[in-house]
Amino acid sequence: GAVVSQHPSRVICKSGTSVKIECRSLDFQATTMFWYRQFPKQSLMLMATSNEGSKATYEQGVEKDKFLINHASLTLSTLTVTSAHPEDSSFYICSATQGASETQYFGPGTRLLVL
Amino acid sequence: AQSVTQLGSHVSVSEGALVLLRCNYSSSVPPYLFWYVQYPNQGLQLLLKYTTGATLVKGINGFEAEFKKSETSFHLTKPSAHMSDAAEYFCAVSDDFGNEKLTFGTGTRLTIIP
C-alpha cells in the first residue's frame, strides 16, 4: 500500500524558534497533500491543503504567515512553524493523495513541544 | 458545516465479542463517510468508506458499517473482536465527491480484554 512518512517524529524547541516538518510520499506521486493538527483528546483539524507547485489553501483561522507550507515536488511537502510558541505544541499529521476523489494516505504524525 | 460525534472515547470488549463503535454525523448535503484506524506510532489507515449505493459497507479486517440516513449514523461493527483490533478509530465525513476536507470525530480507543 501507499506509504507516507513524516520527519521528525518528535521535536522539542524553544519559544521563538522555527521548526520544519517534512511529509514524504514514499511510493507514489502525491498531487495533493493535507496538513492536520490534533490537540489532546480532540479530533484532527485540517489546517491547509497544498497542491504541487501552487500556494497552499489555508482553513479559516489558520495563520498562513505562521504555518508556512511548501509543496515543491510530487513527493515532498514541508510545514514550517515560524516563531513557535507553547500554544503551538500539538500533534501535526500530514496526508497525501494521488488525485481528486482518491484515498488520503496518512503519515504517522509529528509531536511538537514548544518550551 | 459538518460535524462528527463519536460516542464513547474508550470502548472495551472481550476477545470474541461484538465490537460496536458509534458515529453520528451532521451534514447539509449527502455525506461521504469514512472510518479510519490508527495503530500506535502509525498513520491513519482507511478501514472503509461510504459514497453512494449500498448502505452496508464492508471493509478490511472483518469490519463493516451501515449508513442510516434517517438516524444520521454510520456505526462500525465487527462480529468477533481480536486482540489485534486494539487501536484508535476515527469516523470522518466529507461533503465532496472526493476525500478533501475531511471532518473527523474525536476518536474512540478500543481495548480488547483477553
B84 in contact with chain A, both atoms CB, cutoff 8 A? no
Q: Angle at CA A61, nearest 5°, toward B101 and A43?
A: 50
Would you state the pLDDT for residue B30? 78
Using only C-alpha atoms, chain B has a radius of gyration, in whole angstroms, of: 13
> Quick check: B82 and B59 in contact, CB under 8 A?
no
Q: Does the pLDDT at position A25 exceed 60?
A: yes
**Mean pLDDT of all residues in A88-112:** 88
pLDDT at B28: 75
Per-residue model confidence as pLDDT tens digits over A58-97: 999 999 999 999 988 999 999 999 999 999 999 999 999 8
A101 touches chain B (CB under 8 A): yes
Which range has highest mean pLDDT (B31-35, B77-81, B103-107)?
B77-81
The C-alpha cell at A57 is 489553501
Q: Is A44 on the interface with B (CB under 8 A)?
A: yes
Cα nearest neighbour of B90 on chain A:
A43
Q: What residues are paired with A3 via a beta bridge?
A: none
| Residue B108 pLDDT > 60 | yes
A3: closest CA of chain B, how far (Å) = 9
Interchain CB contact of A103 with B (< 8 Å): yes
Secondary structure of residue B70 in the 3-state scheme: helix
CB-closest option in A41, A46, A109 to B106: A41
Contact B97 A46 (CB under 8 A): no
Residue B52 CA, chain-centre distance (Å), reads: 16
**pLDDT score of A107 more than 60:** yes
By the CB < 8 Å criterion, does A42 face chain B?
A: yes
